[in-house]
Amino acid sequence: MTNTPESITFSLEIGFYDPAEKGDREDCHVTPQLGIYCSAADATADREGLDIVEGDLWFYAADGSLMQAQFSEEPYVSADKPTYFPGIYGLHPGSGEPLLHAIARIIAENGDSSPRTRIVVSMAATDEVAKQFGWPDMAAMKEGVKRALRILPPDMFRRLVSVRLQKTAQSTRYSVDGTPIIRDPRAENPS
Structural domain including 165 reads: 5-188
Give residue 169's pLDDT band: very low, low, confident or very high (50, 70, 90).
very low
Contacting residues for 1 by C-beta, under 8 A, at least 6 apart: 7, 38, 39, 41, 42, 134
pLDDT above 60 for 172: no
Stronger pLDDT, 182 or 82, i.e. the higher one? 82
Total count of domains within the chain: 1
User: Which of 160, 173, 61, 77 is CA-nearest to residue 126?
Assistant: 173
Give residue 17's pLDDT band: very low, low, confident or very high (50, 70, 90).
low
> pTM for this structure?
0.81
pLDDT in tens, 174-190: 444 444 444 444 444 44
pLDDT above 60 for 22: no
pLDDT at 114: 81
